[in-house]
Amino acid sequence: MKVVLIVLDSFGVGAMPDAEKFGDVGSNTYVNTYNATGVELPNMRLLGLNNIDGVNLSKDTTIGRYGRMRELTNAKDTTAGHYEICGLVLPNPYPTFPNGFPKELMDMLESELGVGFLGNEVASGTEIIARLGREHLLTRKPIIYTSADSVLQIACHEDVYSVKELYAMCEKARAICSGKYNVGRIIARPFGTNDKGEFYRLEARRDYALEPPADTLLDKLKKNGKDVVCIGKIEDIFCHKGITESYHSKNNTEGIEEIIKASARGDIDGLVFANLNDTDMLYGHRNDPQGYANALKQFDDVIPTIIDNLSDEDILIITADHGCDPTTPSTDHSREYVPLLVYGKELKGNINLGTLDGFDNISKAILNLFGIEKHEDKLFVKGDN
């Protein structure tokens, strides 16, 4: 038996009650993208997407169970969202750096890496390489920037530093940015030049996260002899902990191919855990609702194949880690509910799971399903009595 858990990165379904604290009132990644583009997602709709509270685009008879989840962690970033999905609610989110990184930290980075830096500011990744890329080529100084998340991002042109050299920089930065500064992720952002002379990001991003402070769903499954097959950036988010197999896809096309292959495997007893990141990285942060819609459609089109591949006892879960509404002025993540779509050939469908407190309801249900821990199961049991 396997659970196929797919995170559509940043696919939020409406602002949470505390969204005002995060500057995200009115955000609704799915509904606003739908209103802007008219995107139709018939297969997620059949699972219950349009029936979710706060979406309410239609009232369909569905083959899946559907609901939304409220994040318990006081954050709206990748790490916090994925941790919580896997049962780890951070009491204090990792620090952010709205004014750039402190001089002491920058001095340590310069000393250890042997080079000065450009930037050190909150910025959009595509904007900052367009603005500072020429200076980077002339000075060989890497570009450092951050966002509303706890991240330190290092961007280097492939003609100045190879991708391998950039990764080595980020590994050193990871060691420096742990402990006192506790930066959630160091992200390698290699870029190149296209035929028009414009800078563009390469598909060789790599994340260097802090190690989870406690065991997650992945650790618990692995320690109990279960398979944990990860696709996309999951391995980076969890520092390769609790994983038995990993496939680091460069984009959604590769990630979807790996999901289809894994969903068809009969030898997996445990979890297939995938992140599809293009919605967030390529379209949410760049305020591109049509691109976002196209990425959603690309995934929606393969859902029937994934479902056909499942055995009678397998379960499919589709969710997200936060929002990133491409229709708002902000280019940052948004504090939103995330969707919860659950399907199994032996699970009764057409059930509204309502609003669940905590992304960790997923972890609890999976651990309960495999008999590893006893928890109230709000996903798989409801309506079967």
Kindly report, residue by residue over 45-96, the tens digit of the pLDDT. 999 999 999 999 999 999 999 999 999 999 999 999 999 999 999 998 899 9
Q: Give the Cβ contact number of residue 363 at 10 Å.
A: 24
pLDDT at residue 383 tops 80: no
Q: Give the Cβ contact number of residue 92 at 10 Å.
A: 9
pLDDT score at 385:
42
Nearest of 257, 316, 369, 275 to residue 64 by alpha carbon: 316
Nearest of 82, 76, 55, 59 to residue 339 by alpha carbon: 55
- Residues 286 and 338: their CA atoms lie apart, in Å, by 20
Would you call 353 helix, strand, or coil by DSSP? strand
CATH classification of 103-209 is 3.50.50.60, yes or no?
A: no
Mean pLDDT, residues 108-115: 96
> What's the length of the chain?
385
- Residue 224 · residue 372 · CB < 8 Å: yes
The secondary element (H helix, E strand) that includes residue 144 is strand 143-146
pLDDT at residue 273 tops 60: yes
CATH 3.30.70.1250 range(s) for the chain read 103-209
**Which amino acid is located at 315 in the chain?**
I
Q: Whole-prediction pTM value?
A: 0.91
Q: Give the Cβ contact number of residue 223 at 10 Å.
A: 11
pLDDT at residue 382 tops 70: no
